[in-house]
Amino acid sequence: MENLPERWQELIVKTEQFRSKTEILQLLFAQLEKDFSRSGLELPFSEQDSVEQWAECIAVIVSTTDGTTLQQLFYFVDLPESIIVAITHADNRSQLLSESILRRELVKIYFKLYYSAGN
């Protein structure tokens, strides 16, 4: 299998080979809602907001949530520890973690759709 794009925006485009962008965003919202709720967090945005707004809200959540809850979120999202460690001391840590969460959730969706398409 080819490498997946590093940016979540490009991954949405790549995933469109399986479903429409609208369907992909619905799946993304559902996956975010599931993983955040399993961590005891509510999404402060709706499915109708733009993904860029989602990213901003997730960055705020990441910057204001206690460490234990954040670790649970990272576990449910399945965010690799190497990514977390690599951006721990970055100035834009919250933004990078937000983008990493969106990308990881999209990777899960991509693989689910890829394998359900018979690949």
Residue-wise pLDDT tens digits, 63-112 = 999 999 999 999 999 999 999 999 988 999 999 999 999 999 999 999 99
Q: At what angle do helices 8-15 and 51-64 cross, to 10 degrees?
A: 140
pLDDT digits (tens, 9 = 90+) for 3-16: 888 898 899 999 99
Q: Running DSSP on this structure, what letter comes out for residue 66?
A: -
Would you state the pLDDT for residue 2?
60
Burial of 110 (0-12, 13-18, 19+ CB in 10 A): buried
* Cα 111 from Cα 36, distance rounded (Å): 20
State the pLDDT at residue 23. Answer: 96
Higher pLDDT, 35 or 117: 35
What pLDDT sits at residue 118? 75
Residue 59: pLDDT over 60: yes
